[in-house]
Amino acid sequence: MIPAIKRLVFSKLGRAQAMLRDLRHLPARRAAELAIAALPDQGPPVVRGPVLMDVAYQHPNFWLRHGLLSAALGLGHMRRVALYGRFSRPALSGTLDRLGIRERLPAVAASAQVDSFRPQARKLLAEAGDADGLFRAKLPFDIPAFDLYDGLLRTQRNAVVDLGHPDCERYVAAWMAAAHDSDALVRNLRPGFAVLSHAQSGNDFYGALAHALLRHGVPFVLPNGFFENLHFVHVRNESDMYGFFDAIEPDDISALPPERASRLADLGQRALHHRMTGRSTEFAGNLAFGSDKQTWSRERICSTFGWDPARPIVAFLASTWFDFPHLFGNLRFRDFVDWVSATLTRAAGADGINFVVRGHPADRWYNDLFIGDVLKGLTAPNIGVLPYGIDGEGIMRASDGLITYYGSAGIEYAIKGKPVLVPDVGWYHRHSFVRFAGSRADYLDLVGRRWWMEPGKTEAERNDSMRAASIVQAMRLGYPAWQAAWRIDDDNAVAREEIYARIPDKLAGNRPAVVRELETLRRWIGSGDHLYHRFKMAECDEFLHI
């Protein structure tokens, strides 16, 4: 109870601090937003209106990505309605004025309306009984229960949803109100297009709005930014929404001309080397392979845990506990605790196999939950838990195989020829370089035996798998050479006030590349490919990598 109350207090303090930062950095924010508003319009609208715009995510890169999309698609010529969130701050009004968005509506119902859903929320929680029951609950409009579950995880910053959390009932009531309000809004406004910052509920109820749009046949774009580039997603169905991180399909790799495939594979290998040697500027790469990490050899791992070096070692890399476990529509495990507990329980009985467990590097960045908090003594002589701060490359070299949910390590290990086992759908489970379990039971059965030796691959098959993994890596970390220095700062690696200060010069100093980006975005929206970065990479022949 006390940690939960502390989180609520710190949340309110954080909001107050954010408002003070808004005031302190207002001149840089104004200059950046005026530069965004001045982006060259690419012509009349190419989508139907009116346009519903979620503006709950107040981040300078979101305004930049939003501005690029608006200029490319001609959204400034259309009726635009901004939907602001429950944590929106006073500075938002000036931002919307500068971007020319006049109509504004709250995304969250008034307190009295939320209170009217409290009896339903109380009933839902009572019928659920525990986290497992909530994960299987039937929600309004048949929205998947994991949207509510993951939203609660995120706001509680827990590894398992706590139904007794002091804010749980109120959150569920607000989510229900948002689900009904979103449905009514879409029915009444009848938008032809929408722009959403997220499609999963968290502090704001993005998931409820995303499902309302899809239910009523309204396409939307997620103007995502990953790896310092635009990774926009054009969502027209649930498959698009859960496939937002896919890089390239196995059939597309098979269809690549040999020379292009070789060039992409080489790019992916160079990008991985750059990342693993701590030279990448992107956030996740620095967490996993930054220069501040210790390197542990296989010998040191075996010595630390008293293992026979001749026995195989499987690396088990945990995920961030409350960071949307069901991003890809996966349903085999309630959350990452369910996955970790089931896996290590089975691993403890595996004959002749050792498992080295690593908590996710972002645990220290979030500074809320750590691998030891979750395991709570769940261990065995053949299970060793590494301390934080160990370099990812050393673990890779020491291991004979990898188990990951859908982490980027799955690609990295595969590039190096290491076998990879994944328990559920993700964004690369269809590729030949991983072994995708057929079910939860099949996965747990595989954990207990030497799955990487069955069925054996020929040398040609192993080379094809390594090449496929390298191409997937290239599609993630690569970008067209024509962009040159035109890249977007990482949302998490660079302070927001610094991003605001850089935007005017970034746009002015890369004008030809920015215009080409706008032209490419305009072609993409009608292309049928829901992934912008994939579309853009397919149009070019020369590449760089971050």
Residues 6 or more apart whose Cβ sits within 8 Å of residue 258: none
Domain spans of the chain? 2-223, 251-477
How many CB atoms are located within 10 Å of the residue 351 CB? 9
Cis? peptide before 219, omega within 30° of 0: no
CA–CA separation, 175 and 166 (whole Å)? 16
**Rounded to the nearest 10 degrees, how much is the dihedral formed by the CA atoms of 303, 307, 308, 310?**
-90
In angstroms, the Cα distances linking 362 to 25, 59, 294, 327, 518 are 27, 20, 16, 17, 33
Query: DSSP assignment of 34-60, as one string?
Result: HHHHTSPP-SS-SS-S-EEEE-----H
Residues 6 or more apart whose Cβ sits within 8 Å of residue 405: 319, 325, 336, 339, 422, 423, 424, 426
Question: What digits encode the pLDDT tens for the residues 215-233?
Answer: 999 999 999 999 999 999 9
Exposed (0-12), middle (13-18) or buried (19+): which is 256, by Cβ within 10 Å? middle
Question: What digits encode the pLDDT tens for the residues 105-160?
Answer: 987 666 678 999 999 999 999 999 999 999 999 999 999 999 999 999 999 999 99
Question: What digits encode the pLDDT tens for the residues 301-316?
Answer: 999 999 999 999 999 9
Among left, alpha and beta (phi > 0; psi -120 to 50; other), residue 278 is left
Q: What is the pTM of this model?
A: 0.93
pLDDT score of 320 more than 80: yes
Q: 476 near 247, Cβ under 8 Å?
A: yes
DSSP structural state of residue 452: G
Question: What digits encode the pLDDT tens for the residues 505-529?
Answer: 999 999 999 999 999 999 999 999 9
Residues 6 or more apart whose Cβ sits within 8 Å of residue 407: 317, 319, 360
pLDDT score of 13 more than 80: no
CA–CA separation, 144 and 326 (whole Å)? 10
Q: 32 near 503, Cβ under 8 Å?
A: yes
Question: What digits encode the pLDDT tens for the residues 396-421?
Answer: 999 999 999 999 999 999 999 999 99
Q: What SS3 state is found at 519?
A: helix
Long-range Cβ contacts of 520-528 (<8 Å, 24+ apart): 521/68, 521/69, 521/72, 521/73, 521/230, 521/232, 522/42, 522/43, 522/46, 522/72, 522/73, 524/232, 524/234, 525/46, 525/47, 525/72, 525/73, 525/221, 525/234, 526/46
DSSP structural state of residue 231: -
In angstroms, the Cα distances linking 372 to 319, 321, 345, 375 are 13, 12, 15, 5
Q: What SS3 state is found at 405?
A: coil
Q: Give the torsion sign (CA, 392, 398, 404, 410).
A: positive
Six token digits for residue 325: 């476990």
Say if strands 103-106 and 420-422 run parallel, antiparallel, or are unpaired: unpaired
CATH among 3.40.50.2000, 3.40.640.10, 3.40.50.620, 3.90.1530.10 for 251-477: 3.40.50.2000
CA–CA separation, 368 and 323 (whole Å)? 12
**Structure confidence at residue 451 as a pLDDT band (50, 70, 90):** very high
